[in-house]
């Protein structure tokens, strides 16, 4: 195992009251993997990262790196490097000097420093800009310098603290791929903090979703999207609709949830919830189909169109159900090329495979 | 876009501003004019603003009456030494107060900055007694050592250091830099504007210092220019041309220096607002 | 526990960094300040041993007509120089701040020159301007038919001369502070007033003056303290005379210590000055908390 967090907890004390920023987090990160800590601001993801870096000391628990306990080691003795949100480039030093800063402290021979610095500048694609100062670089280039400066130290773990949040949307997408490419090329164990779920999905081997200092779920991007364990995760990753009800039939392969307000029962893919307990069906907007084809296998609900937006490739509907709840649905198959009318009756179908239950 | 007033308003206002500017600087103009006048011209009425010929002998005359060169050197030496020492000690203190966390830090900050409330007149007598007992009277030490640090400088630098992003420091820490390394390779280079402003204030304040050398130094060997020049006024026999020449030697270098650095200087005041 | 060790190391580094400054400030300001209190209870001329006399220095101070005289001279000086130098400083700031004015930087610099020159040299120069027979000031006054005035040797005028220098020396400083304050006032207020068709005077009264009040208060405090501490001009030009007409409190303190060697008595005066200035600062501080937060 590369990096292991054993039940780490961080309590901040201010004005006599305690704030539990991180609450018994346990996590094992395999060597060479990129793990993302994902969550809204204040969920404890940055504090966790700073405890791995050594800028904060855990109130409880320990941090292990390749078997060695590094909980109380100062940041510079952990063999860890970090890419900061603001990049934290030294404004008075050139690109080259920024990258070489850490190597020079290690008292490595001047030639080696020069060689490794050059290699790293090449790797991030900044050749020709060595003599520039950070303020003469674009945001994306600054980001690359920050990356090079961290990589040049050959760390065992590389930490990213919301590294793309200062870039515009287009650049963010290409830098995301770039970071992933370089991370896979160098095979450095990485921990990546972000609040952007799309970023997390596109880059990670493993996503750890956090809320109020606790881990809500961990899994591959596919798992957390398809099989969320709770409403928070379902809601945080992508758009979602919830249908409230009570679990009925129990068998390992499938389940039935009965909604009294809709006077309907739905077939579901899983049976996480005990019979008779409140349950929620998670249906993604793109799981609905609005075609009128009769198919008794499918779950269906009827409602009236409250509003819709035409977005070129698809239509986005807001549909009001008889019990007053609202459903968000996408329709991609626009063969009829005819727009619906507000107030029109629509029947929405979704398959059993697309109905995932979680505790209500 | 705001309207520009008509010429009938602008021209008179320009005249008013320029007149006030001339009046404010008239003492310096008059000083220079007199410094170059021949003794016989000084008492002509009405006063003449342009001397018949430029007479440089007044400067030599002033130098003969008091050891101007020595005084100027002393002032330069003392003001520079104080400035250098304050650069070191103030920035040390400001770094400790802004970037390191330890118990009692805020109290120490209050103690250090609290000295801004103590005017020098109040400590003049006991300070004199202390340095006299230490045998420091009549020396450079007495002019320099008590001013090795200043609340003003510490305050100014601390404010500036606080503005340096913490992430920069953390980036350096994670790269293996220690406190001293961070201080010298990150904090100080990034604080050049603040260090420069503080140095200017300190240098000019100590070049202009009058009260402390007046009480702590009586030997002309160590006397500073401001006290030196005031000796000119007490002697009735001294010529006005000499006095003005001596004043010019005291004031003109500082004014020229100020013209070069005025931007930083005036902006420094707007920011800190706590020092003349 | 390693946790403690890191904290301790940081604390140690902190103390090392601050200690030179802390030592000098304590040794050369707080220690003398404490000594001032201590010495003020003794009779001491540096030659004979100190003798404890309780509150005698304070009683003789408060019953001394010289002390009250110097205090009243100081307050007259303060009462005139504070409002006048603030008024002129504000006026200059408003002029230099005119949006269409060219050469702002140059004007600002030239108005500031008296501030950076030393008071000692300025006093020498002004002594020449105040000269009674061929001085520049009396010459200008003669244009208006005013007979020559013995500025520095006439008890009726010597303090006025000190005030003129004091004001001249400070207006540039006050101007710069007011300029900084003016920059903070959002332009939108003036634009709104322009739309309403307000006159410049009306704009000053209803926007500039009220929004400038934090700056004005700050300038007032600074100017009060500076005026109260007037010393160099008196020391260089009049030495308290003629007929004690310029005997300000700082010069009274200086003379008692270094001319009459009454160190205990002088210490009592400095304690009195210190208390007075602390009280003033605190009053201003409270006052400022109530009124200043406009922006």
Q: Which two tokens stand for residue A29?
A: 């990160």
Give kind and range of the element (H or E) at residue B241. Answer: helix B240-272
Question: What subunits make at least 3 CB pairs under 8 angstroms with B?
Answer: A, C
Contacts of B123 in chain C (CB under 8 A): 28-29, 32-33, 36, 270
How sure is the predictor about A317, in pLDDT bands with cuts at 50, 70 and 90? confident
Mean pLDDT across chain A: 88
Cα–Cα distance measured from residue C251 to residue C247, given in angstroms and rounded to the nearest whole number: 6
Summarize the confidence of residues A256-265 as an average pLDDT: 81
How sure is the predictor about A297, in pLDDT bands with cuts at 50, 70 and 90? low
Contacts of A72 in chain C (CB under 8 A): 2-3, 6
Going from N- to C-terminal start, the domains of chain B cover 66-271
Total Cβ atoms within 10 A of residue C265: 27
Beta pairing, strands A254-259 & A264-268: antiparallel
Q: Which two tokens stand for residue A337?
A: 């090329």
The pLDDT value given to residue B77: 96
Q: Which two tokens stand for residue A131?
A: 């003599």
Per-residue three-class SS string for chain A: CCEEEEEEEEEEEECCEEEEEEEEEEEEECCCCEEEEECCCCCCHHHHHHHHHCCCCCCEEEEEECCEECCCCCHHHCCEEEECCCCCCCCCCCHHHHHHHHHHHCCCCHHHHHHHHHHHHHHCCCCCCCCCCHHHCCHHHHHHHHHHHHHCCCCCEEEEECCCCCCCHHHHHHHHHHHHHHHHHHCCEEEEEECCHHHHHHHCCEEEEEECCEEEEEECHHHHHHCCCCHHHHHHCCCCEEEEEEEEEEECCEEEEEECCCCEEEEECCCCCCCCCEEEEEECHHHCECCCCCCCCCEEEEEEEEEEEECCCCEEEEEECCCCCEEEEEECCCCCCCCCCCCCEEEEEECHHHCEEEEC
Contacts of C6 in chain A (CB under 8 A): 57, 72, 74
Q: Give CA A67 to chain center in angstroms.
A: 27
Chain C interface mutation, best of B22, B27, B82, highest count of C Cβ atoms under 10 Å: B27
3-state helix, strand, coil split of chain C in percent (to 5) is 75, 0, 25
Contacts of B176 in chain A (CB under 8 A): 76, 102, 105-106
Selected residue with higher pLDDT from A290 and A79 = A79
The pLDDT value given to residue B269: 65
Contacts of C3 in chain A (CB under 8 A): 57, 72
> What residues 145-184 of chain B have any CB closer than 8 A to a CB of chain A?
165, 167-168, 170-177, 181
Selected residue with higher pLDDT from C294 and B167 = B167
Tens of pLDDT, residues A44-64: 999 999 999 999 889 999 999
Q: Of the given ranges (C6-20, C53-67, C162-176), which has the lowest mean pLDDT?
A: C6-20
C52 DSSP assignment: E
The pLDDT value given to residue C292: 42
> What residues 316-355 of chain A have any CB closer than 8 A to a CB of chain C?
none
Looking at the partner chain, which of B34, B97, B122 has a beta carbon nearest the beta carbon of C18? B97
Summarize the confidence of residues A331-353 as an average pLDDT: 80
What chain C residue is nearest to B107 in terms of C-alpha separation?
Answer: C22
Contacts of C2 in chain A (CB under 8 A): 72
Contacts of A12 (CB under 8 A, 6+ apart): A18, A19, A21
Tens of pLDDT, residues B98-120: 988 888 888 999 888 888 888 88
Q: Which CATH superfamily is domain B66-271 in?
A: MetI-like (1.10.3720.10)
> What residues 58-77 of chain B have any CB closer than 8 A to a CB of chain C?
none
Cα–Cα distance measured from residue A50 to residue A150, given in angstroms and rounded to the nearest whole number: 15
Cα–Cα distance measured from residue B135 to residue B118, given in angstroms and rounded to the nearest whole number: 25
Chain C interface mutation, best of B65, B125, B270, highest count of C Cβ atoms under 10 Å: B125
Contacts of A81 in chain B (CB under 8 A): 174-175
Check CB contact under 8 Å for C120 and B244.
no
Q: Which residue has the tokens 């140095």?
A: B199
Contacts of C33 in chain B (CB under 8 A): 118, 122-123, 126
pTM: 0.83
The alpha-carbon gap from A22 to the nearest alpha carbon of chain C, in Å, equals 18
Check CB contact under 8 Å for C180 and B20.
no
Interface of C with A (CB under 8 A): 2-3, 6
How sure is the predictor about B171, in pLDDT bands with cuts at 50, 70 and 90? very high
Tens of pLDDT, residues B12-57: 999 999 999 999 999 999 898 888 888 777 777 777 777 777 778 8
The alpha-carbon gap from B243 to the nearest alpha carbon of chain C, in Å, equals 7
Looking at the partner chain, which of C10, C235, C277 has a beta carbon nearest the beta carbon of B101? C10
The alpha-carbon gap from B167 to the nearest alpha carbon of chain A, in Å, equals 6
Helix axes B151-162, B192-207, angle to 10 degrees: 170
Tens of pLDDT, residues B53-99: 777 888 888 888 888 889 999 999 999 999 999 999 999 999 999 98
Give just the sign of the alpha carbon dihedral A265, A270, A275, A280: negative
Contacts of B8 in chain C (CB under 8 A): none
With beta carbons less than 8 A apart as the criterion, state whether A157 and A189 touch: yes
Cis before C242? omega within 30: yes
The pLDDT value given to residue B276: 39
Check CB contact under 8 Å for B174 and A80.
yes
Instruction: Say yes or no: A57 contacts chain C, CB-CB below 8 A.
Output: yes
The listed range with the strongest mean pLDDT (B118-127, C187-196, C266-275) is: C266-275
CATH of C57-288 among 3.30.365.10, 3.20.20.70, 1.10.3720.10, 2.40.30.20: 1.10.3720.10
Q: Which two tokens stand for residue B141?
A: 């030490």
Closest CA to C175 of C114, C245, C110, C94: C94
Summarize the confidence of residues A331-345 as an average pLDDT: 77
The pLDDT value given to residue C101: 87
The pLDDT value given to residue B121: 85
Cα–Cα distance measured from residue C64 to residue C252, given in angstroms and rounded to the nearest whole number: 12
Q: Look at residue B273 and tell me whether its pLDDT is greater than 60.
A: no
Tens of pLDDT, residues B213-257: 999 998 889 999 999 888 876 666 678 888 888 899 999 999 999
Residue A339 region by backbone torsions, left for phi larger than 0, else alpha for psi between -120 and 50, else beta: beta
Question: What subunits make at least 3 CB pairs under 8 angstroms with C?
Answer: A, B
Q: Which two tokens stand for residue B152?
A: 């003003």
Contacts of A80 in chain B (CB under 8 A): 174
Summarize the confidence of residues B155-178 as an average pLDDT: 89
The pLDDT value given to residue A335: 67
Q: Which residue has the tokens 């200690």?
A: C19
What chain C residue is nearest to A56 in terms of C-alpha separation?
Answer: C3
Give kind and range of the element (H or E) at residue C51. Answer: strand C51-52
Q: Which two tokens stand for residue B211?
A: 């009260």
Chain C interface mutation, best of B58, B126, B273, highest count of C Cβ atoms under 10 Å: B126
The alpha-carbon gap from B67 to the nearest alpha carbon of chain C, in Å, equals 16
Q: Look at residue C35 and tell me whether its pLDDT is greater than 80.
A: yes
Going from N- to C-terminal start, the domains of chain C cover 57-288
Check CB contact under 8 Å for A74 and C3.
no
Tens of pLDDT, residues C92-122: 999 999 888 888 888 989 999 999 999 999 9
Looking at the partner chain, which of B27, B102, B148 has a beta carbon nearest the beta carbon of C11? B102
Helix axes B240-272, B225-234, angle to 10 degrees: 140
Check CB contact under 8 Å for A85 and B189.
no
Measured CA angle at B257 (ends B254, B263), to 5 deg: 120
With beta carbons less than 8 A apart as the criterion, state whether B214 and B132 touch: no
> What residues 89-118 of chain B have any CB closer than 8 A to a CB of chain C?
89-90, 92-93, 95-97, 100-103, 105, 108, 111-112, 115, 117-118
């Amino acid at each position: 195992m590369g990096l292991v967090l054993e039940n780490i907890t961080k309590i901040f004390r201010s004005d006599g009251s305690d704030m539990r920023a991180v609450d018994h987090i346990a996590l094992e990160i395999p060597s060479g993997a990129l793990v993302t800590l994902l969550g809204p601001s204040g969920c404890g993801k940055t504090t966790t990262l700073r405890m791995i870096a050594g800028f904060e000391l855990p109130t409880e628990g320990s941090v292990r790196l390749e078997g060695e306990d590094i909980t109380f080691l100062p940041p510079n003795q952990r063999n860890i490097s970090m890419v900061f949100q603001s990049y934290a480039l030294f404004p008075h030093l050139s690109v080259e000097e920024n990258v070489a800063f850490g190597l020079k402290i290690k008292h490595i021979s001047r030639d080696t420093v020069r060689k490794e610095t050059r290699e790293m500048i090449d790797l991030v694609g900044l050749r020709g800009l060595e003599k520039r100062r950070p303020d003469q670089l674009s945001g994306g280039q600054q980001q690359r310098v920050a990356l090079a400066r961290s990589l040049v130290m050959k760390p065992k773990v590389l930490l990213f603290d919301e590294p793309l949040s200062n870039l515009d949307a287009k650049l963010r997408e290409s830098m995301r791929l770039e970071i992933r490419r370089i991370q896979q090329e160098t095979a450095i164990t990485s921990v990546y903090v972000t609040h952007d779920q799309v970023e997390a999905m596109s880059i990670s081997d493993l996503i750890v979703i956090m809320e109020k200092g606790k881990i809500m779920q961990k899994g591959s991007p596919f798992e957390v999207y398809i099989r969320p364990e709770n409403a928070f995760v379902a809601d945080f990753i992508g758009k979602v609709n919830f249908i409230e009800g009570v679990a009925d039939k129990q068998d390992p392969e499938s389940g039935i949830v009965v909604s009294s307000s809709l006077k309907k029962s739905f077939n579901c893919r899983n049976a996480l919830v005990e019979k008779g307990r409140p349950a929620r069906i998670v249906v993604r907007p793109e799981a609905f189909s609005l075609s009128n084809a009769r198919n008794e296998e499918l779950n269906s609900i009827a409602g009236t169109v409250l509003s819709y937006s035409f977005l070129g490739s698809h239509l986005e509907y807001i549909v009001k159900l008889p019990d007053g709840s609202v459903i968000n649905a996408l329709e991609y198959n626009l063969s009829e090329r005819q727009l619906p009318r507000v107030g029109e009756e629509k029947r929405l179908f979704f398959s059993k495979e697309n109905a995932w239950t979680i505790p209500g | 876009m705001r309207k520009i007033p008509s010429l009938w308003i602008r021209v008179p206002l320009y005249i008013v501003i320029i007149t006030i500017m001339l009046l404010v600087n008239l003492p310096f103009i008059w000083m220079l004019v007199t410094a170059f006048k021949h003794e016989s011209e000084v008492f002509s009425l009405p006063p003449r603003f342009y001397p018949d010929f430029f007479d440089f002998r007044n400067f030599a005359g002033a130098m003969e009456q008091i050891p101007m060169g020595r005084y100027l050197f002393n002032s330069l030496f003392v003001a520079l030494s104080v400035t250098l020492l304050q650069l070191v000690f103030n920035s040390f203190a400001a770094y400790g107060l802004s970037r390191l966390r330890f118990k009692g830090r805020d109290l120490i900050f209050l103690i250090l900055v609290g000295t801004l409330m103590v005017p020098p007149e109040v400590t003049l007598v006991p300070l004199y007694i202390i340095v006299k007992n230490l045998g420091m009277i009549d020396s450079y030490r007495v002019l320099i050592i008590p001013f090795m640090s200043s609340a003003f400088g510490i305050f100014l630098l601390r404010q500036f250091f606080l503005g340096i992003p913490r992430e920069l420091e953390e980036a350096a820490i994670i790269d293996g830099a220690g406190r001293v390394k961070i201080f010298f390779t990150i904090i100080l280079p990034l604080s050049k504007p603040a260090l420069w402003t503080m140095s200017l204030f300190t240098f000019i304040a100590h070049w202009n210092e009058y009260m402390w050398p007046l009480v702590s130094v009586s030997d002309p060997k160590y006397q500073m220019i401001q006290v030196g020049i005031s000796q000119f006024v007490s002697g009735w026999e001294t010529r006005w041309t000499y006095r003005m020449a001596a004043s010019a030697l005291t004031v003109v270098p500082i004014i020229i220096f100020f013209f070069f650095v005025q931007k930083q200087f005036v902006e420094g005041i707007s920011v800190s607002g706590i020092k003349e | 526990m390693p946790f403690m060790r890191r904290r301790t190391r940081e604390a140690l580094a902190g103390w090392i960094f601050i200690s030179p400054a802390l030592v000098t400030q304590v040794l050369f300001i707080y220690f003398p300040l404490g000594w001032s209190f201590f010495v003020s209870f003794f009779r001491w001329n540096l030659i004979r041993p100190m003798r404890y006399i309780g509150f005698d220095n304070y009683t003789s101070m408060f019953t001394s007509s010289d002390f009250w005289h110097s205090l009243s001279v100081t307050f007259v000086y303060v009462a005139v120089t504070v409002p006048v130098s603030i008024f002129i400083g504000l006026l200059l700031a408003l002029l230099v701040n005119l949006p269409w004015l060219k050469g702002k930087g140059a004007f600002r610099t030239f108005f500031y020159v008296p501030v950076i020159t030393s008071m000692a040299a300025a006093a020498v120069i002004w002594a020449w301007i105040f000269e009674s027979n061929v001085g520049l000031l009396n010459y200008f006054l003669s244009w208006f038919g005013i007979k020559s005035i013995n500025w520095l040797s006439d008890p009726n005028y010597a303090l006025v001369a000190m005030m003129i220098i004091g004001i001249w020396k400070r207006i540039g400083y006050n101007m710069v502070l007011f300029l900084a304050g003016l920059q903070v006032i959002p332009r939108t207020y003036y634009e709104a007033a322009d739309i309403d068709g307000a006159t410049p005077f009306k704009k000053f009264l209803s926007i500039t003056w009220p929004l400038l009040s934090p700056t004005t208060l700050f300038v007032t405090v600074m100017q009060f303290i500076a005026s109260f501490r007037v010393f160099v001009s008196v020391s260089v030009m009049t030495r308290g005379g003629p007929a004690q007409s310029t005997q300000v409190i700082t010069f009274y303190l200086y003379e008692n210590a270094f001319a009459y060697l009454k160190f205990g008595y002088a210490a009592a005066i400095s304690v009195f000055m210190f208390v007075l200035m602390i009280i003033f600062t605190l009053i201003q501080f409270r006052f400022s908390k109530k009124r200043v937060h406009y922006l």
